[in-house]
Each structure stands twice: as structure tokens, then as C-alpha cells.
Amino acid sequence: MTSPRHLAYFVALGLFWGISPSLYRHWGHIGMPATHVIVVTGLGVGLVLGLIGAIRGITWAGGMRLQFYGAGCAALMNVPFAMGLFFARHVPPTELALIISTAPIVNYLVALATRRENAAPRRLLAIVLGFSSTALLVITREGMLSGEVSWWLIGAFSMPVLYSAYNWFAALWWPRESHSFAAGVAESLWSGLLALPFLYYFAPPWGSDQLPLPAYATVGIATLMWVAERIAFFTLIREKGAVFTVQAVYLSTPAAVVIAVIFFGGADIWLFVSLLILMAALYLNNSGSAAKAKSS
């Protein structure tokens, strides 16, 4: 039975995931460098999680395997994260939200190709529906029917593919001897550290186009939000399992679209038709026996 505490974590997780595309759009709109977002949120989340872990008596420094895991995950996460911040400047957040939400289906397709999962009819149908949803989204965008191709929109579909590479690495190299909190600290700190050279090269803080300090308020809020998201995620993974936790995508997908519509507009009937098809695909991909991993 799901306790009120677990339900609160679940709802928070879905909403935190859902608001991210709109945050990306906001940062793009004000000209926030992607490297600044990655460094501040990475180091900030890592340090706060490390402090909380130390208070709880969790050893987060770990050995070489944990640091290899953290650095590998950070490198594979930073690329689609940076791309998301970049594409958000050119793709409406409602559409970006749907594209990012196809990640679980792409994950299964990659797992199927690498023989980490068995072919299940429900999940194969989920793939068909998922790609039907994205095809509908692409075809019905403004200008598409008249023959103008939105290469920004098409390019954004590289993000769920790259996120699947991150998930593959994370599952393969998970440091079983370490606490899940320690894995989160290592990944976050390495995320910020790996982005530092790019920050100094592409957008040094002493540059003439540096944004005023108040512009970073939303980055600070996002850092605290993602700390809460990490705590909710690790708690649910540890206490309720991965199958329960991944269901938060049913909340985050419509939440991402609704939040983006509220703040930025840009909705039409085809967007919501695409959303409904994607929700059906996610249900087939994550529910029942279809969501169980291939047995070894």
C-alpha cells in the first residue's frame, strides 16, 4: 500500500520533472549560458546532497568505481542536458516536453537492440504508438504542411536517444556497494566539474555579456528543486522500487505540457492528440509484465 509520504514524493517527482522544459525555455529567453546552468546546478545539488548525506551518516566519497560511475553518468547526462537548454531557445516548450517524454520508449528500444530486454507485444505496440505520436507532432507543426521543415524540432529528438545512452551506462555500472545517495552526489559534483572548462572558455563570468546576479535566482530555485527531486527519486527507488518510481512519467508528461501552455502558450488540438497517444504508449511501456526487466 502506498503511504501518504510515498504519494507526496511521487507527486513532487512528477511535477519537478514536468516543470523542467519550461525552465529551459525561460533560461534560453533571458540568454542564460547553458554552461552556467550546468555548473551551478551540478555543484549546488552535489554539495547539498553531500551535506544531507553526511548528516544522515551516509558515506558519499566512495572508491574508484563510484567516481568512475559519477564521472561517466555526468558526461553522458551533460550532453543531452546542454542540448535541451540549447533547443529550448528554438523549440516551443510544449513540444520539447513531449519529445523528452519519449525517453522511456527509446530506452526500451535500445535495450531491445542490445538484448537487455525481451520483445514484449505490449511494449512493441508502445514503440509504434510512441513514434506515431512524435510523427504527428512533427507533421502538424506550423509550416510543416506547407513543406517547411523545422530542423530544430527534428534535431531535438536526439535528446531522448542520448538520454538512453546515459540510462544504459547507469544501469551497467551502478555501484552496488555504494548508497544510492552517494551515487547522486558523485554524479552531480562531476556534472558541475566537467562543465567548468566549457564555462571558462565559452561564457566566462567576467565577460561583458554577463547577466546580472538577480537573473540567477531561478537557477538557485531550480537547484533546490532538483535536490528535492533527487531525494524523492532515491527514496522511492529504495523503498518502492523502480517500477513504481517510473510511473511518475504519467504525471510529468501532462504536467510538462500544461505548465508550458500556462507560461508560454502555443497549444493546439494536435498537440493534445499527440499527448494522448504518447500517454497510451507510456502506459503500455511501463505497466504490467511489460515493465519487468529481462530475466538473466
Nearest alpha carbon to residue 179 among 168, 190, 169, 187:
187
Looking at residue 121, its pLDDT comes to 85
- Could you tell me if residue 211 is inside a domain? yes
- Could you tell me if residue 296 is inside a domain? no
What is the pTM assigned to this prediction? 0.83
Looking at residue 295, its pLDDT comes to 39
- Could you tell me if residue 173 is inside a domain? yes
Which is more confidently placed, 124 or 199?
199
Question: DSSP letters of the chain?
Answer: ---HHHHHHHHHHHHHHHHHHHHHHHHHHHT--HHHHHHHHHHHHHHHHHHHHHHTT---S--HHHHHHHHHHHHHHHHHHHHHHHHTTTS-HHHHHHHHTTHHHHHHHHHHHTTSS---HHHHHHHHHHHHHHHHHHHTSTTGGGT---HHHHHHTHHHHHHHHHHHHHHHS--TTS-HHHHHHHHHHHHHHHHHHHHHHHS-TTSTTPPPGGGGHHHHHHHHHHHHHHHHHHHHHHHT-HHHHHTTHHHHHHHHHHHHHHHH----HHHHHHHHHHHHHHHHHHSGGGGSPPP-
The percentage of residues in the chain with a pLDDT greater than 90, rounded to a whole number, is: 31
pLDDT tens by residue, 121-158 = 887 888 888 888 878 887 776 555 555 667 888 899 99
- Could you tell me if residue 172 is inside a domain? yes
The percentage of residues in the chain with a pLDDT greater than 70, rounded to a whole number, is: 91
**pLDDT confidence band for 296 (50 / 70 / 90):** very low
- Could you tell me if residue 83 is inside a domain? yes
Distance between CA atoms of residues 249 and 83, nearest Å: 21
Q: Is the pLDDT of residue 283 over 80?
A: yes
Looking at residue 253, its pLDDT comes to 85
Q: Is the pLDDT of residue 85 over 90?
A: yes
Range of the domain at 21: 4-291
- Could you tell me if residue 286 is inside a domain? yes
**pLDDT confidence band for 292 (50 / 70 / 90):** low
- Could you tell me if residue 262 is inside a domain? yes
Q: Is the pLDDT of residue 2 over 90?
A: no
Please give the tally of structural domains in the chain.
1
Looking at residue 137, its pLDDT comes to 80
Q: Is the pLDDT of residue 278 over 90?
A: no
Residue 220 has, within 13 A of its CA and on its CB side, a CA count of 5
Distance between CA atoms of residues 125 and 281, nearest Å: 7
Distance between CA atoms of residues 60 and 50, nearest Å: 7
Least trusted range by pLDDT, from 20-24, 47-51, 105-109, 220-224: 105-109
pLDDT tens by residue, 226-236 = 999 888 888 88
Which is more confidently placed, 82 or 206?
82
Average pLDDT, the chain: 85
- Could you tell me if residue 50 is inside a domain? yes
